[in-house]
Amino acid sequence: MATVQTPSDDLPLTAASWGDLHSTIEELTVHVPDAKNWSIVKSSKPVFVAEHKKSRTALLATTFVESNLVNRAMCEERARELGLVPKAMANARTIEDEPMLGPDDFDTRVWVSMRPGEHGELVGDVMAFGARVRKCLFFHVATIVSSEKEADTLSERLAATRLHVLGDLKLDAIEDVPRAAEH
């Protein structure tokens, strides 16, 4: 992501700005703020990636099927093996680390944290590792502000991501799959 200075209102969180991004490949829909300014990023991996460049926010979500029954710890371990969790997370300071039920009926661990960026920025992360029978879910939103001075802005983004983006994540049921492919 770029290292330019960004204003604190670069990701409007007003209800009117929210909208959905859908991935037919990953069979999921994410509800994001300032939806019209997100772009889908092509990836060589079978993951859904979207960026909001103005706010330096990136979203990655994927599901994968395992051959055996799984729990959220096994799904987290598998996500790490697949290289989905950035190495920089080793320097993260935990804000929240709790289980939740959802999306749908996934048993999920939610980890919210902050960490130093590469160029003095402050990075906030919301990660989720979910399990349901033989299916794993991995969700990660990383958002960057220029410095500690914008910690309140970062906190607002993390709260909105935790409560609404992750909280409103929908996995497609076969009858809910949109007919026009967006990803």
| Of 74, 73, 75, 72, residue with least CA distance to 64 | 75
Q: How many domains does the chain have?
A: 1
Q: pLDDT of 31-72, one tens digit each?
A: 999 999 999 998 888 899 999 999 999 999 999 999 999 999
- pTM to 2 decimals? 0.87
Structure tokens that stand for 47 in this block: 């993951």
Asked whether residue 10 is assigned to any structural domain, the reply reads no
Per the domain annotation, does 41 fall within a domain?
yes
pLDDT band at 9 (very low <50, low <70, confident <90, very high): low
Which region, left, alpha or beta, applies to residue 2 given φ > 0 means left and ψ of -120 to 50 means alpha?
A: beta
| Banded model confidence at residue 175, pLDDT cuts 50, 70, 90 | very low
Asked, for residue 157, whether it belongs to a domain, the answer is yes
The per-residue pLDDT for 92 is 96
The answer to the question of residue 25 being in a domain is yes
How far apart CA 130 and CA 171 sit, in angstroms, is 12
Q: Is residue 42 part of a domain?
A: yes
Identify the CATH number of the domain in which residue 151 sits: 3.40.1000.10
